[in-house]
Structure 1
Amino acid sequence: MRGLYYCFLVGMLCLDAVHLSRCDSAQPTAPVSQEDMSQQNSPLGQTVTDFTLTNAYGKSVSLSDFENHAMVAVVFLGTECPLAKLYGPRLNELQATFAGQGLMILGINSNKQDSLTELAAYGHRHQISFPLLKDKGNRIADVMKAERTPEVFLLDRNRVVRYHGRIDDQYGVGYSRDKKINSDLEIAIEELASGKPISNPSTEAVGCHIGRVKQVETTGQVTFNKDIAPIFNARCVTCHREGEIAPFTLTCYDDVLGWEDTILEVIDNNRMPPWSADPAHGEFANDARLGETEKQQIADWVDGGMPEGEPGDLPDPPVFTAGWRITPPDQVIAMREMPFEVPAEGIVDYQRFVVDPQWDEDKYIVAAEARPENRSVVHHILVYVIPPGGRRPDLRQVLVGYAPGSLPVELHDGVAIHVQAGSKLLFEMHYTPNGTAQSDLSYAGFCFTEKGNVRKHLQGRIAINPKFEIPAGASNHEVFAHYRAKQDELLISMTPHMHLRGKAFQYEARFPSGATEVLLNVPAYDFNWQLKYILREPRKLPRGTLIECRAIFDNSKYNLHNPDPTRSVRWGDQSWDEMMIGFMDTIPTE
């Protein structure tokens, strides 16, 4: 069946995780008065004394080298952290804008998993114009009490911390705005340069945990090779491997070290693996959740010092198909003639490209696969059918989709998707900038069969309501839509679809017998992870069954995804508008 998932991973193609060029020269010296900072929860008002670190090319760089600069912004960065990638260009802009007022930005990398080679590559890829320094053993991070990447400490002429926190609020964990609302660091620099008190000196730094070297005795019985690698292989490495969109790899022991705090955090708050269905309703073939035993094993492994284990216990890595996962297609169709240029940062809203496949006869599709050319920036692909003579896509006919971890369309037992002659295709592309300019020319492949081989058609069904208005500031606005089965059919899957104000979504069946059943409940909808929920066993919908979809929208200022809580919102194609669609796949029972 159609294996369509969506995902939001502001990551990029990871560098080779082999740790090279680990130079031991220029050991860091203590940068801060220990008695000042170690006893305080906030670094504000504390003095940072001189320190020396090595840059990516082996040169020693000291804080005192910049004594003629009126301000120094110490920013902790990581080479693979998605937010650190996105904010690299922003920091360059700030350095260029305020250099004349005496600003110097110093980027410090304290991650044990990031080598000097990788730090140099980060600087080259993002064209970093300020020094990038390696904090071996995370000594500087420990004394300054830095926890995240990126995290900023803005120092005045006397090297007293005057601002601490984030760069701005455009990007965060799980959300990305089309523009920043609060330019926290920029405002702090302007106020400090003009001699004014900083109006908002402390904000929350969000991002990846710094991958610290920890003095933990390896005593645990849970090992990576025997216990943890099988979990990661089954649950994670589909996306967290080289060449995929996830921001770091989990394919071997050395790759994992340094990411343990981030892994525990995303598991604890249920961000990873992505799965939003309420377990009280329905059983799903593609349920991605970690079991409680698996969660506990990962926690025990970290608490036990993360032992690697015996080499013989390491399972064979999963095998991923490099080429087509379907039978070699009968036809391959590109989304357009020329690649689309993806900018380094910001929001790239949906791009739509109409293609004429030259189908002069009806087509019966038994397999389809959408493939991104550049997996590092493709958030998702949807390929819709535009009926003959039409100008807009038929939302009921999504031929195929792509997102990391999604499955191609493969239909059997005489089931096929019927597309009328003269139809065109609409490629809907959603891109995620990753800090460097990219290009993409995605495509899709299709396998056909003869009409005589087809017994049943896979049907796309929708419960849709385009006539709504979400008031400005409303935090729990309900919208309903319905679908009624006109024949006996089997429900195969459900895909709730909303945009950035989506908060919750539920499918409820009302059967002709009078019985009701919640088929799917998504209490915490996430635009970044819009999943297709494939039923473990198809659910029979007798003729006359009513499917009611109930969506809840949050248009308030407390929704961090919300681009503008001051305006009311109606139906629209782009993510700053809204949609309310309950997608379903069905096949007739006879």
Structure 2
Amino acid sequence: MNRWKLAACGLTIALSTISLGADLLAAETGADATDQQATPLGTHVSDFTLDNCYGKSVSLADFDSDPIIAIVYLGTECPLAKLYGPRLSDIQSRYADRGVQVIGINSNTQDSLTELAAYARRYGVDFPVLKDPGNRVADAMGAQRTPEVFLLDRDRIVRYHGRIDDQYGVGYSREREAKPELTLAIDALLAGKPVPVAATKVVGCHIGRVKQIEPTGEVTYAKHIAKIFNDRCVSCHRDGEIAPFNLGQYDDVIGWEDTILEVIDDNRMPPWSADPQHGKFSNDARLTAEERDLIGRWVDNGMPRGDDADLPPAPVFADGWQMDQPEEVIAMNDQSFSVPAEGIVDYQHFVVDPKWDEDKYIVQAEARPQRRGVVHHILVYVIPPGSDHRDLRQVLAGYAPGSPPLDLQDGVALKIAAGSKLLFEMHYTPNGTAQDDRSYVGVRFTEKSKVRKHLEGRIAVNTKFKIPPGDDNHTVTADYVSRQDEQLLSLSPHMHLRGKSFRYDVEFPDGRRDTILNVPHYDFNWQLKYVLEKPLTLPRGTKVVCTAVFDNSEENLTNPDPSQTVRWGDQSFEEMMIGFMDTVPVAEVR
């Protein structure tokens, strides 16, 4: 487990190196421990000593000459801690000559000293980052998450507690300028004034505490839990993918159990937004009730490892391609795109001419990011010959974490006309480290004589809407009418940051009406395709009605500017309303 990781760093940290006075977090008001943890404001933090990742002991008293101390709890793999590492270094740099000192503390049992040193180097951390073995200091201060700030005045009284700013949250990034809550508190203390907002909501990952429960019970990692994680999580939660931490081994999981339970309880993971009351989908990612129960029981029982002989085979992932070896690989651009360490990156669009001088019939296609850690999704559209604009109905390939490639069977192919160009739409999500990306798409072809049916992209789209300022429930509709008998294969709702919900209803020629997909809580972070378990036949004249609801209010935390009327546009601060669909005709190609 993680104690072996500590030994591998070549450094020994004894708990005796932590000097904790009985009043490490002694409240001035005399409140009990429970109250102190709930509201640390006004409490006193006594001296403590911890080792940094290089084995040097550092005490709070070492900074007695600094009038203000910002203690920030950090985790090496927490997405928000990664994003805020550079921002904390900037705060330290800007305020150092005014007597402000930032101190990072890592209390995660899953983070080794080597990983802590790598975090400091990777994110340009130029302030002390200390290791808190056994989470003793975190327990005394009542710290719960990473990143979490305790701002201390000259008397080491907590005068501000909460987040660094409101730029990032769990699953969202604000596109408007952040409210710098920590630096506003620092400025107030330096000016000898009360902190204007002394407490803000802490968001982030749970601190991976050492558990006091002796592992017991029949539910073990090897026999029950590993298979669930392999099937549901590891495709994204592994090295090089966009998910923030690994779940492929027992030692990787320990320390993340509280965060895992939270995201499962909140239905944030695995990502799946469809209402189970409507439609059945072959790629349904939800955990079953039994899987949820097993994970909960396993954590409650102390997370026993079990016998390694019971471990399932490790999943095998494609090295380079999930599809067969491509016949042609097309890069998104001649040069790489530079993704910054933090902030919001608008959608990037790159047009490529593959120089196809004859019609192409594609049976396999796969979009691949070069830097998976920062590429959230890719859509590769076709620009028809003679046009300057993409055809929204014709998507060659798409990528999102865990998504499969296009793989057409039984004589079905995607026809692309000679002279067409490709448009790469790239959605980047900075992860704390600046990176260069040059993503690409691979394709395989078939002969025209072997094609029985063409895959057709269909859309229900509305480009004429106007979402009023402050409107939290603005409805926009669009429809598609089938002009032939065809089979519906998949559905992909698409909106931007103000998207709230999306529904597909089918009105059949005989008067029947059915809801085939309802997404009550649309999440722009997950561009999901919902593949029907069985193709749905749409007789000629069938209408597919899409209903989208937008939230342009202040309550929408991702809303770039609730004071603006919002119209159609490519960028995420604008909006779209598209119901994508894949179909094949019932009749074969003549």
Sort the TM-score into its range (normalised by shorter chain). over 0.9
One of 550, 556, 559 as aligned partner of 1:559: 556
TM-score if structure 2 supplies the norm length?
0.96
Shift of 1:312: 1.0
Taking the aligned partners of 1:411 and 1:375, their CA distance within structure 2 comes to 25
Runs of 4+ displaced beyond 3 Å: 17-20, 31-35
Q: Secondary structure in 1 aligned to 2:91?
A: helix
Matched, 1:28 2:18: yes
Farther-moved stretch of structure 1 (316-325 vs 471-480):
316-325
Deviations 1:277-321 (A, max 9, x none): 011111000000000110011000000010000111111111111
* Aligned counterpart for 1:291 among listed residues 285, 288, 291: 288
Q: Give the deviation of 1:142 after TM superposition.
A: 0.2
| Structural mapping, 1:412-491, within 5 Å | 412-491=409-488
Contact 1:174 1:528 in 2 (8 A): yes
Structure 2 residue 196 is matched with structure 1 residue 206:
no
Equivalent residue number for residue 170 of structure 1: 167
In structure 2, distance between residues paired with 1:268 and 1:45: 33
Shift of 1:30: 1.5
Give the match's secondary structure for 2:127: coil
Shift in Å, 1:376: 1.0
Q: 1:418 aligns to what SS in structure 2?
A: strand
Q: Secondary structure at the match of 1:493?
A: strand
Question: Could you say which residue in structure 1 is the equivalent of 2:320?
Answer: 323
- Say if 1:75 and 1:153, in contact at 8 Å, map to a contact too: yes
Q: Counterpart of 1:24 in structure 2: which amino acid? A: I
Q: Which secondary structure does the structure 2 equivalent of 1:401 belong to? A: strand
Equivalent residue of 1:439, what SS?
strand
In the alignment, which residue of structure 1 is the partner of 2:532? Answer: 535
1:151 paired with 2:141, answer no
Aligned length: 574
- CA distance in 1 between counterparts of 2:430 and 2:297 reads 36
Question: Which whole-Å CA distance do the structure 2 matches of 1:324 and 1:224 have between them?
Answer: 30
Structure 2 CA distance for partners of 1:418 and 1:499, relative to 1, 3 Å:
same
Farther off after superposition, 481-490 or 367-376? 367-376
- Give the aligned partner of residue 542 of structure 2: 545
Q: How big is the shift at 1:329?
A: 1.4
377, 384, 388: which is aligned to 1:380? 377
Aligned partner of 2:391: which letter? D
* 1:270 matched to 2:237: no
- Within a 5 Å distance, the mapping from 1:345-424 to structure 2 comes to 345-424=342-421
Deviations 1:461-510 (A, max 9, x none): 00000000101110100000000000000000000000000000000000
1:108 aligns with 2:97: no
C-alpha displacement at 1:35, in angstroms?
4.9
CA shift, 1:339, in A, is 1.0
Give 1:566 deviation, angstroms: 1.2
1:38 aligns with 2:23: no
* Unmatched runs of 5 consecutive residues or more in structure 2: none
Distance 2:13 2:493 in 1: 53
**Is 1:225–2:214 an aligned residue pair?**
no
Letter in 2 for 1:381: I
- Could you say if the C-alpha distance between residues 179 and 132 of structure 1 is closer, same or farther in structure 2, counting changes exceeding 3 Å? farther
Distance 1:33 1:256 in 2: 31
CA distance in 1, matches of 2:339, 2:137: 36
1-structure distance, mates of 2:175, 2:277: 36
CA contact under 8 A between 1:76 and 1:151: conserved in structure 2?
yes
Q: Does the aligned pair in 2 maintain the 1:495–1:582 contact within 8 Å?
A: yes
Bigger mean CA offset, 179-188 vs 453-462: 179-188
Name the CA distance, whole Å, in 1 between partners of 2:25 and 2:339. Answer: 46
2:133 maps to which residue? 136
The alignment's TM-score, normalised by the length of structure 1, stands at: 0.96
Select which of 334, 337, 347 maps to 1:337: 334
Distance 1:104 1:139 in 2: 22
Matched, 1:247 2:244: yes
> Residue 487 of structure 1 aligns to a residue in which SS?
coil
Output the CA distance in 2 between the equivalents of 1:290 and 1:23: 41
Q: Contact between 1:277 and 1:520, CA under 8 Å: does it hold in 2? A: yes
Contact 2:25 2:141 in 1 (8 A): no
Secondary structure of residue in 1 paired with 2:43: coil
Which residue number in structure 2 is paired with residue 313 of structure 1? 310
* Alignment correspondent of 2:71: 74
Residues 407 and 18 of structure 1, relative CA distance in 2, 3 Å threshold: farther
Confirm or deny: 8 A CA contact 1:27 1:136 kept in the other structure: no
What is the deviation of 1:27? 2.4
Match of residue 500 from structure 1: 497
1:549 is paired with a residue whose SS is: strand
Aligned with 2:17: secondary structure? Answer: coil
RMSD of equivalent CA atoms: 1.2
1:84 to 69, 78, 81: 81
**Aligned counterpart, 1:280:** 277
Measured after TM superposition, the shift of residue 347 of structure 1 is 0.6
Larger RCO, structure (CA 8 Å, separation 6 or more) = 1
Q: For residues 320 and 98 of structure 2, what CA distance do their matches in structure 1 show?
A: 53
Residue 34 of structure 1 deviates from its aligned partner by: 5.0
> In structure 1, the residue corresponding to 2:436 is in which secondary structure?
strand
Are the aligned partners of 1:179 and 1:346 in contact in 2 as well (CA < 8 Å)?
no
Q: CA deviation at 1:39?
A: 4.4
Query: Distance in 2 between the 1:34 and 1:360 partners?
Result: 73
Q: Which residue of 2 aligns with 1:4?
A: none
Cα distance, 1:190 vs. partner?
A: 0.3
Q: C-alpha distance in 1, partners of 2:195/2:435? A: 37
Report the Cα distance in structure 2 between the residues aligned to 1:210 and 1:287, rounded to whole angstroms. 30
SS of corresponding position for 1:535: strand
**Matches of 2:364 and 2:232, distance apart in 1:** 25
Q: Distance in 2 between matches of 1:530 and 1:362?
A: 29
Cα deviation, residue 89, structure 1: 0.8
Is contact 2:233–2:270 with CA below 8 Å preserved after alignment? yes
The change in CA–CA distance for 1:474 and 1:179 in structure 2 (over 3 A counts) is closer
CA distance change for structure 1 residues 145 and 258 in 2, over 3 Å: closer, same or farther?
same
Q: Which amino acid aligns with 2:379?
A: L
Aligned letter for 2:54? Answer: Y
Q: Write the distance in 2 (CA, Å) between the matches of 1:181 and 1:59.
A: 35
Amino acid at match of 1:30: L
Task: Write out per-residue CA displacement over residues 431-476 of structure 1, whole angstroms, 9 at most, x where no aligned residue.
Answer: 1111111011111111111111111100000000000010111010
User: How far apart, in 2, do the equivalents of 1:412 and 1:225 lie?
Assistant: 37
CA contact (8 A) 1:217 1:304 kept: yes
The one-letter amino acid of 1:558's match is E
Q: How far is 1:220 from its partner?
A: 2.3
| Aligned partner letter, 1:116 | L
Q: Which one is further off, 579-588 or 93-102?
A: 93-102
Select which of 50, 55, 59 maps to 2:52: 55
Q: In structure 1, what is the Cα distance between the partners aligned to 2:26 and 2:483? A: 75
Q: 2:67–2:153: 8 Å Cα contact kept in structure 1?
A: yes
Contact in 2 for aligned 1:168/1:180 (Cα 8 Å): no
2:248 matches 1:259: no
Distance 1:98 1:404 in 2: 39
**Deviation of the 1:526 alpha carbon:** 0.5
Q: Equivalents in 1 of 2:329, 2:549: separation in Å?
A: 39
